[in-house]
Amino acid sequence: MKCRLHLSKNKKLTGVCAGIAESFGIDATIVRIIFVLLALIFRLPIVIVYVILWAVFPTEC
C-alpha cells in the first residue's frame, strides 16, 4: 500500500511541504508559500505543526 502523506526527496528543508504537495497533486511551491504565510500569521503554532509533521511523516514510500 502506498503512503498517502510522506516526506519527499524533492525538499528544501525537510520534505514536509513537498510531500504534502505530491500527495495532493499540486505544486510544492504553492504549499511552501501557504506554510510561510501561515507562519507569518500564527508564528509559533505553525512551526510546531511543521516539526511534528517532520517527525511523524514516513520517508518516501
Would you kindly state where each structural domain of the chain is located, as residue ranges? 1-61
Please compute the mean of the pLDDT values over residues 23-35 and round it to a whole number: 93
4-19 burial, b for 16+ CB within 10 Å, e for fewer? eebbbeeeeebbbbbb
Region of poorest pLDDT, from 1-5, 15-19, 24-28, 29-33: 1-5
Please compute the mean of the pLDDT values over residues 23-49 and round it to a whole number: 92
Longest dimension (CA), the chain: 37
Confidence of residue 2 (pLDDT cuts 50, 70, 90): low
Please compute the mean of the pLDDT values over residues 17-40 and round it to a whole number: 93
pLDDT recorded at residue 43: 85
pLDDT recorded at residue 5: 84
